Amino acid sequence: MRSLIDIQELSVEEINDLVKCAEDIIANPAKYSEMCKGKKLATLFFEPSTRTRLSFEAAMYELGGNVLSVSSAASSSAAKGESVADTAKTISSYADIIAMRHPKEGAPLVAAMNATIPVINAGDGGHNHPTQTLADILTIHCEKGRLDNMTIGLCGDLKFGRTVHSLISAMSRYENVKFYLISPDELKVPSYVKKDILKKNNVEYVQTSDLEGSISELDVLYMTRVQKERFFNEEDYLRLKDSYILTPDKLKTAKPDLSILHPLPRVNEIAVAIDDDPRACYFKQVYYGKIMRMSLILKLLEVVK
Ligand code: NCD
């Protein structure tokens, strides 16, 4: 029985295999439509979500499986004080696999240690979000035809943005990937990401607050939302929330084949006018997220080897 809590638990070969399986699902959806018949996925979401929860559920339905869902902490026994460990033990009697989102860093790991079925981390606080990274990787692969030899700019809230931490962690393992880490001073990438991932693996990176000055260097631009719910005071959030707004004007010096990604939800970081630009990939990324979750469920349930 295997879980996915941190993207580092997957080797580069395994990530590449998941991408290959995802691309086969796109090419031959009918082949996969009954592969999880009789299996159940439980989505336990103790934090708000539209895409991640519904994409897990859509993924399981498209594999012919079924879904049990807790969509808020308030509607579950967590509100009565039940521990994550007890919840995980309980759900193990009902389902074959769990996808869990929780505001506390490490909660899905605790669930995995107590469940007797695989647990997927669907976002834990400001820490990690490995399945968003799988969606991002499939998007980059489909757009660029490769995962190596590229410069990726990450822009916005790099401190609390869990998708950013997981994406850096995964892409650092591919050859000749460089990063531009673009954020206000207060929202820089946490020091553990720099020390344990970037420096440890000798990955080249530039830390800057200047989006316009960096944009011409980028093959991928990953915009992010300032994570309001992780701030300790509203004043700081209000001061920082509109630090970066990508407008058509700012794209003037960008490469013609730049890929613009965003994990969504978008608040104000990308002008709606950019949605029709062929470089905008964020709604395709939503579709790829569902496909990659299908691929992951198949792998963790050992339906495909
Ligand atoms: C992200 C998340 O929840 O971390 N959303 C998502 O899963 N697509 C990004 C965000 O909320 O800003």
Instruction: Locate 245 and state its tokens.
Output: 């707004």
Residue 263 Cα to ligand 1 midpoint, Å, equals 6
User: Does residue 165 sit in the same domain as residue 229?
Assistant: yes
User: Does residue 113 sit in the same domain as residue 98?
Assistant: yes
CA distance 172 to 235: 34
Structural Rg of the chain based on CA atoms: 19
User: Does residue 75 sit in the same domain as residue 215?
Assistant: no
User: Does residue 98 sit in the same domain as residue 76?
Assistant: yes
pLDDT in tens, the chain (305 residues): 799 999 999 999 999 999 999 999 999 999 999 999 999 999 999 999 999 999 999 999 999 999 999 999 888 888 899 999 999 999 999 999 999 999 999 999 999 999 999 999 999 999 999 999 999 999 999 999 999 999 999 999 999 999 999 999 999 999 999 999 999 999 999 999 999 999 999 999 999 999 999 999 999 999 999 999 999 999 999 999 999 999 999 999 999 999 999 999 999 999 999 999 999 999 999 999 999 999 999 999 999 98
User: Does residue 235 sit in the same domain as residue 143?
Assistant: yes
User: Does residue 115 sit in the same domain as residue 137?
Assistant: no
User: Does residue 186 sit in the same domain as residue 91?
Assistant: no
User: Does residue 121 sit in the same domain as residue 139?
Assistant: no
User: Whose alpha carbon is nearest atom 8 of ligand 1?
Assistant: 263
Cβ 156 vs Cβ 225: under 8 Å:
yes
User: Whose alpha carbon is nearest atom 12 of ligand 1?
Assistant: 225
Cβ 18 vs Cβ 134: under 8 Å:
yes
Residues 6 or more apart whose CB falls under 8 angstroms from that of 234 comprise none
Which range marks the domain in which residue 139 is found? 130-285
Supply the CATH number for residue 247's domain: 3.40.50.1370
Ligand 1 proximal residues by C-beta, below 6 Å:
51-52, 123, 129, 132, 162-163, 225, 263-265
Please identify, by atom number, the ligand 1 atom nearest to the C-alpha of residue 224: 12
The answer to whether position 305 is within a domain reads: no
Pocket test for ligand 1, best of 102, 223, 225, 264 (most atoms within 8 A of CB): 264
Residue 7 Cα to ligand 1 midpoint, Å, equals 16
Residue 66 Cα to ligand 1 midpoint, Å, equals 24
What is the per-residue pLDDT for 183? Answer: 98
Number of structural domains (the chain) is 2
The answer to whether position 161 is within a domain reads: yes
Residues 6 or more apart whose CB falls under 8 angstroms from that of 215 comprise 153, 221, 250, 251, 253, 254, 258
User: Does residue 272 sit in the same domain as residue 214?
Assistant: yes
The answer to whether position 274 is within a domain reads: yes
Q: Where are the alpha helices (DSSP H) in 222-267?
A: 234-240
User: Does residue 167 sit in the same domain as residue 295?
Assistant: no
- Mutual angle of helices 130-144 and 12-27, in 10-degree steps: 70
Amino acid at residue number 110: V
User: Does residue 122 sit in the same domain as residue 145?
Assistant: no
User: Does residue 254 sit in the same domain as residue 278?
Assistant: yes
